Amino acid sequence: MIKAETGQKAPLFIVSDWVQGAPVNFDRLSKKVVLVEVFQVNCPGCFLYALPQAIELHQRYADSGLIVLGIATAFEDFELNTLANLQKLVSSNEVIGETYRRLSQHGLLHDGRLPYTIPFPLAMDKLIKREQAVSREEAIAFINEHFPAFDQQPETYRQQIINQVGAYLEKQIYRPQTFELFGLKGTPSHMIVDKQGVLRDCHFGVDDALESRVQQLLNE
C-alpha cells in the first residue's frame, strides 16, 4: 500500500460501510475543505475532545465550505470497535466499553446515552483480516516508521524490539485500511484536505490549532 503524503494529492480513503449520510470521497468534494475525523467507538478521548470539536467546526463552517466526515476505525479492541457498535451509536446514541465508563464518570451521558447526535456523515474503515504471519521485514518497517534512528541502536536491543513488535503485530488480527493508508498513529486523529484535493495535515491527538488551520484553508 502506497502511503499518503502531506503536500500531495490525497488518496481516496477506504471504507466498508456508510452508516450515516451518502457515500462520498475526496474526488467528489473539489473546491471544499475536507476534515476527516478518525475515531474508535471504544476511545474515550475521541468522545471527550475530538468529536465535540469536529461537531463544533461543522456547525460553524459548513456554510463556508467545510465538509466534515467521520470514519470509525479499529486497530485494537476488535471485539468492541465494530460496525455493529458504530450502528448503535448512530441509531440510538449508545456508547460502549471504556467510552461509556469515562463519559459516565464525567457526567456527560443522559440515561446512559450521548445527549447529542453526530451531524455529519459516518463510515466504517475497511478491515482486512490478517492471513499470514508477521514477517521480520514487516516488523522492521513498522519500527522504522514509528522509531527514528532505530538502525543506530545496538544489535541486541534492535533484536529485542523486533521480537516485541512482531508479537504486538501478531495480535492485530485486522488491518484497518484507511488508518494505515494515512499512516495514522492512533485515535483520535484527523486529516485535512484543501480545496485542490491536497492532503495538508494528518494529526494524532487533540489539536488546539485545528480551527485556525481550517479558517486558513477556507480563506485560500
- Averaged pLDDT of the chain: 93
The mean pLDDT value for 123-132 works out to 89
Residue 184 binned pLDDT confidence (cut-offs 50, 70, 90): very high
Domains of the chain (ranges; CATH) run 15-128+174-219 (3.40.30.10), 131-171 (no CATH)
> Helices 210-219 and 51-61 sit at what angle, rounded to 10 degrees?
30
pLDDT tens digits, 24-71:
999 999 999 999 999 999 999 999 999 999 999 999 999 999 999 999
Tell me, what's the pLDDT at 141? 80
Report whether the peptide linkage leading into residue 188 is cis, meaning its omega lies within 30 degrees of zero: yes
**Chain centroid to CA 33:** 18
